[in-house]
Amino acid sequence: MKTFMRKLLGKASAKKPLRKASAKAQSAMEYLMTYGWAILIIAVVLAALFQLGVFNPMTFAPKAPPGACQVFRPNGPGTTSFINLEGMCSGELPQYVAQFNGQNGYIMIPHSSSLAVSGTFSVSLWFSSSLPSSTSFDSQLINARQPTDTTFDMQIIGGGAYGGGSWSGLHGDIGTGTGTWLSTSVNYEFPFNQNTWYNVVVVFTTTGWSIFLNGKNVSSGAYSGTPSLLDTNSYIYLGHDGNYFNGEESNLQIYNTSLSANDIQALYQEGIGGAPINLQHLVAWWPLNGNANDYSGNGNNGQTYNVNFVSNWWSGYTPP
């Protein structure tokens, strides 16, 4: 009899853990039923905030307001004596960049004698394409070919729009400004990423050209002659020569010298908000941080047409 009772009690005690486990499972299901929608909504909101870049560390990095850094020329435009930088010039991120809509947006910079550089010069620009390299398009980053069509331009090409096939990358032309082309194949083919920032520097001399991408020399070519940034009447256009750029541009710098590989690497390492690297040979500097003003001290201010200056630009930017 005692043995029988112990067996019954053993069976009853064995059922207790099962009842407890069942109760916990039921409680968990009730919790999920009660709070599941709230958890799902929170997850969706967090994903949206992440997509908008709220959790990007660049969101909280200090930003330089328009005109925070500029070149001071105490003896006036075009002079180099006692030239120096003034303001926030330690590579702070810009508050704004220029956004081009791919339809009718561009910046025009009028002709001036200080921009009429020739023989040897360098152009540096940060850009981000809103279109992937697999999409067929051909649009201007910077263009100084009007009206003789024989000076300088640099394009971003996608999806085989240039040369057929699936060619994508950078393509430029350089001429004398007097009716002679020196090279119509200033090229670098690479599958650029959509909404990703790149720094391109193009160097021209009387013997040839070189393209630097993110501080590295990626392509070069030879010619013999005197290249020209402008002819006697042409303007500089950003984002347009009939083919409109869809994307963003920042920190355009022009020098009347051939920047060295070390200069270009240092310029890239400063980042998208970096100040000019060689003040003695700086011709123009458009940070494009909220406006199209020239902060080189030479007064080559641009005019904007259907261009927005946006503050939420950094989602595709990785500091060097």
DSSP 118: B
263, 157, 154, 91: CA torsion to nearest 10: -40
Give, in degrees to the nearest 5, the angle at Cα 199 between 268 and 159. Answer: 155
- Measure CA 152 to chain center: 21
Task: Decide: helix, strand or coil at residue 283.
Answer: strand
Q: Where are the domains of the chain?
A: 1-51, 64-316
Give, in degrees to the nearest 5, the angle at Cα 238 between 252 and 71. Answer: 30
| Amino acid sitting at position 268 | Y
Contact predicate 199/268, CB 8 Å: yes
DSSP 76: -
pLDDT tens across 281-297, in order?
999 999 999 999 999 99
* pLDDT tens series, the chain, 320 aa: 445 444 444 544 545 555 555 666 566 566 556 655 555 566 555 445 445 555 556 666 778 999 999 999 999 999 999 999 999 999 899 999 999 999 999 999 999 989 999 999 999 999 999 999 999 999 999 999 877 778 999 999 999 887 777 899 999 999 998 889 999 999 999 999 999 999 999 999 999 999 999 999 999 999 999 999 998 888 999 999 888 999 999 999 999 999 999 999 999 999 999 999 999 999 999 999 999 999 999 999 999 999 999 999 998 999 99
Candidates 3.20.20.10, 2.60.120.200, 3.40.50.2300, 3.40.50.200; CATH matching 64-316: 2.60.120.200
Number of H helices, E strands in the chain: 2, 19
pLDDT tens across 290-320, in order?
999 999 999 999 999 999 999 999 989 999 9
Give this prediction's pTM: 0.83
Q: Largest Cα–Cα distance of the chain, in whole Å?
A: 119
Q: How far apart are CA 203 and CA 290, in angstroms?
A: 27
Q: How many residues does the chain have?
A: 320
